[in-house]
Structure 1
Amino acid sequence: MGQTINNIISEPSFGTVLGSYKNVEAYSNSRINHNSGKNYINKHYTGYKYQCVEYSRRFLIITKQITFANIKCAYNIWDLIVFQNLITGENFDILKFENGSFIPPKEDCLLIYNKGYKIPYGHVAVITKVNLSKGYVKIAEQNEREKIWKRNYARKLYIKCSQGKFIIQDKYPIIGWVVYEN
């Protein structure tokens, strides 16, 4: 990692491993937005290095052998109705639950953020742990915080249950979570 003139640690350089969840590494993209190059895993397109969509798609390909269609922005994942099984080539339905749903999120589902002032393309993360009794979820992600993970997740978000509805709280607007059963 580089250092600034004031001896303060700067953001990791492009391609630095930030952390890993289920052996899927997340990389620093040094805040490069678009022209970071396309990435592939096992001949399957994952997205632009190292954006949030690229991590989520690569996670699904490596751990579940599934993928989703090419999309323009992260928040467009919410518009999808199917994912694809890479072994059979067949599409299968996904389930979507809005933030504030009666159904809580579960491990390995995708957390979808809406577009907003600081995130014009939205955002997507993988939920790595759900602990309803302690009121938190942990997430793995790329292109949000450019910091080395201390454990197998990037951030911990709070989840509350109000009138039976589960609401995940973050500084950015969350649409909801996508569950895939293949």
Structure 2
Amino acid sequence: MIKGFRLWILIVSLGLSFSFLGYQWLTRYNFNTDHQVGDVIDSLNGVEIYYNGGVNTNEGRNLSLDGYNLGIKYQCVEFVKRYFYQRYQHQMPDSFGHARDFFDNLLTDGSWNEKRALRQFTNGSQSKPMADDLLVFAPWILNPYGHVAIIAAVTDKGIEIAQQNPGPFAPSREYFPLIQRDGLWYIDAPRAKGWLRWEATSPNVATENSGFIDPVMVIKE
């Protein structure tokens, strides 16, 4: 009886170990032969978006010249932090954490997120999303870390996001419907938790392109 139980434990342990190793290999291997890890595949307001292959590919930590931690190349977090850093010279007080950690579940809608130094809005907010807001997605069974992206454009009916590391075959741009109900704005996207906003000098809306409103480039002297 004891030997049988030990054998069962051994088989389960080996199965879990092989499953874990298989998952690690599958999520680090580049199945898309059209791109190499590190290829520039898109850009938003002059900030480049890089191809990362498998979603768990790790190309080392990216630091700014002044030592600010931008994140692991070329994860989704690295893009959004680099975007805010290059576009606004914004540095988050807490420069570490996974994508899921960007959204503070204890804050109410419109509260100040001190760790990120950004205004936080819940999905279902009185404040309509804006271009350049940082959108946070909750984790799920196949992605325990969550996901982050930048809202590239907004209309009354939808948003377009720009993202890094969505997967080897997924696009860097995606569109989600925007719904206003009972005075609140909802982004109709799976696991969208809310958005964070840089407040010092939010970009103005200037031109309309194919139904989207494009943010103006912020020119730094």
Q: TM-score range by the shorter chain?
A: 0.7 to 0.9
Which ranges of structure 2 fall in alignment gaps of 5 or more residues? 1-31, 105-111, 201-221
- Higher share of residues assigned strand: 1
Q: TM-score w.r.t. structure 2 length?
A: 0.66
Partner of 1:72: 97
How big is the shift at 1:107? Answer: 1.0
CA distance in 1, matches of 2:175, 2:123: 16
Partner of 2:159: 137
Partner of 1:115: 139
For the 8 Å contact 1:67–1:83, the answer to whether it is kept is no
Alignment match of 1:164 (pick from 179, 183, 187): 183
CA distance in 2, matches of 1:82, 1:36: 29
Alignment match of 2:82 (pick from 40, 47, 58): 58
CA distance in 2, matches of 1:154, 1:147: 12
For the aligned residue pairs, the C-alpha RMSD in angstroms reads 2.3
Cα–Cα, structure 1 residues 162 and 127, in superposed 2: closer, same or farther, change >3 Å? same
How big is the shift at 1:10? Answer: 4.0
Runs of 4+ in 1 over 3 A off after TM superposition: 145-149
Alignment match of 1:97 (pick from 91, 98, 121): 121
- Higher share of residues assigned helix: 2
How big is the shift at 1:147? Answer: 5.2
For the 8 Å contact 2:135–2:194, the answer to whether it is kept is yes
For the 8 Å contact 1:105–1:130, the answer to whether it is kept is yes
How big is the shift at 1:13? Answer: 1.7
Structure with bigger gyration radius: 2
How big is the shift at 1:119? Answer: 2.3
Which ranges of structure 1 fall in alignment gaps of 5 or more residues? 1-8, 85-92
The percent identity for this pair of structures is 29
How big is the shift at 1:83? Answer: 6.0
CA distance in 1, matches of 2:115, 2:134: 12
CA distance in 1, matches of 2:188, 2:165: 19
Cα–Cα, structure 1 residues 32 and 136, in superposed 2: closer, same or farther, change >3 Å? closer
CA distance in 1, matches of 2:63, 2:179: 37
- Structure 2 residue 193 is the aligned partner of structure 1 residue 175: yes
Report matched runs for 1:3-14 at 5 Å: 10=33, 12-14=35-37
Q: TM-score w.r.t. structure 1 length?
A: 0.79
Aligned amino acid, residue 140 of structure 1: A
